[in-house]
Amino acid sequence: MSTHTAHTHEDGAGVYVKTLVALLILTLITVAASYVDFGSGNVVIALFIATVKASIVALFFMHLRHEKPVNSIIALAGFLFLGIFLMFCFMDQDTRKDPKPYNMPPPALNLPPGVTAPPAGAPPAAAPAEKH
C-alpha cells in the first residue's frame, strides 16, 4: 500500500531555499528596524515581523499549507489560548490603580524636627499579599 498519498503537492528544494531567503531578509529588516525609534510602534513592528516569520516557518517548513486542516487548528488553538491568557492578564494589570514603582521601599527621609513629610508619591512598604 503506497504511503503518503495525501501529499499531492510536494514542495521541492527550490521552495525551501526561497523560504530561507525570505526569512533571512525579514531578519535583516527587523534588526534594521530596531535601530530606529518608532516609539510605541517598536513592539508592534517587531512582533508583527516575528509573526510573519513564524507563519512562514509553519506554512512552509512545517508543511501546514499542504496538510489536513486539523493540524493547523491544533497549532492555532495553542496560540489562541495563549493570547487569551496574555490579554486578560494585561487587562487586569493595566486597569489596577496600584502606585508605581511597585518595588521601591519608601525613601528614608531624614527630616529635621518640625518638618512634615511631602504628600502622596511614596508607595506603601511591600504590601502583604491577600491571604487565601
* Pick 12 or 112: Cβ nearer another protein: 12
Q: At closest approach, how far in Å is the CB of 48 from another protein? A: 10
Stretch (H or E) spanning 15:
helix 13-33
> For residues 1 and 115, which CB has a smaller minimum distance to another protein in the complex?
1
Query: 100-106 long-range contacts, Cβ below 8 Å, gap at least 24?
Result: none
Q: How far is the CB of 11 from another protein (least distance, A)?
A: 8
Q: How far is the CB of 117 from another protein (least distance, A)?
A: 13
Under 8 Å between Cβ of 57 and 65: no
H or E element at residue 27:
helix 13-33
The residue among 91 and 117 lying less far from another protein, judged by its C-beta, is 91
